[in-house]
Amino acid sequence: MRIVIVDDSVVIRQRLTRLLSKLDGIEVVGEADDVPVAKKLMEKLKPDVAILDIRMPSGSGADLVQELKQLKPAPTVIMLTNYP
């Protein structure tokens, strides 16, 4: 399974990458810290799964979901947030 992680926190991206890389069949193929970079990565890499932060300085992971639905095939999306 190919995964792209989108989060403005470098610590979160590193921890998720480290945890996921230990699992068989999982490959973190890209990371982005903002929405514009994430859009380009998703189009280029065509991941199976996108792990998105819901709030980022350059936009919302929730807004990005709408664009990801247009990709063929569209990745499965997992949303993360530390906001209540």
The pLDDT tens digits of the residues spanning 62-84 come to: 888 988 998 899 999 999 887 77
Residue 80 DSSP code: E
d(CA 24, CA 19): 11
Return the pLDDT at 75: 96
CATH of the domain at 40: 3.40.50.2300
Q: Which residues pair with residue 28 across a beta bridge?
A: 3
| Count of domains forming the chain | 1
Helix (H, G, I), strand (E, B) or coil at 57: coil
d(CA 4, CA 68): 12
Range of the domain at 24: 2-80
Helix (H) or strand (E) holding 42: helix 35-45
pTM of this structure: 0.91
